[in-house]
Amino acid sequence: MDLKEQMDLLGIQDITTNRQHRNGTVVWRLPIKNNNSGKTFIEVASFATGYVRNQNSGYSNYQLNKRCEGEPEYYQLANGDYRKYTTRTCKLIPNELDRLEYLIAYCLKNYYIKNANKVINGDYVPKWTHEYEMNGLQNKLANSVPKWKYDEAMNLGHEQDRGHHDRIKELESDVHNLENKLDTIQRIADHG
């Protein structure tokens, strides 16, 4: 799936102004409301300088880039001795496509998945309630497969085949969980 398809699937919109475009900046709006204000949607941006930032964090935008140790620097004390120190800096992402891929991954993890268990009106659903409902849906799905198909698949006689079957079931469960999270995200976006 290419970046455009991923962004369409997630409901991410390009809201870059002409001035930002001329400066090499691209701004994206997520279909998720900002937790700070609850009135505006989360916006993230990719800059030609290699930075990626959250655009609506209040007084200042903050970098989303990964952090790394900077080059050591030295300063001289009054007695002539030198001290070495290092600072943490942002790891710049020079390629635009790499920045967009990083932004999508960051947003999925930190905005979509973390907010997936919030209902439309913004109330929090406790984790145990969410897990209970997910298990109920999984059991309903497991019971919808005819028993003879399940038994046939489990009695293939080869450990490798059982392993593949278990892996398929695990992947189906993961896909089901992601579909539920995306449905929740879509409901939030539609009623936000």
What pTM, to 2 d.p., does this model score?
A: 0.55
Q: What's the token pair of residue 45?
A: 């941006």
Tally the C-alpha atoms within 13 A of residue 52's C-alpha that lie toward its C-beta: 24
Q: Which two tokens stand for residue 53?
A: 């930032």
Per-residue pLDDT of the chain (192 residues; tens, 9 = 90+): 788 888 888 888 999 999 999 999 999 998 887 766 667 788 999 999 999 999 876 566 788 999 998 888 898 999 999 999 888 888 999 999 999 999 988 988 888 877 665 544 455 555 666 677 777 766 776 676 666 665 555 555 445 555 556 767 777 777 777 777 877 777 777 775
Read off the tokens for 1: 């799936």
SS (H, E, C) 67-90: EEECCCEEEECCCCCEEEECCEEE
**DSSP per residue over the chain, as a string?**
--HHHHHHHHT-EE---HHHHHTT-EEEEEEEE-TTTSSSEEEEEE-TTS-EEES-SSSS-EE-SPEEE---EEEE-TTS-EEEE--EEE----SHHHHHHHHHHHHIIIIIITTTTB-TTSPBPPHHHHHHHHHHHHHHHHHHS-HHHHHHHHTSS-HHHHHHHHHHHHHHHHHHHHHHHHHHHHHHHHH-
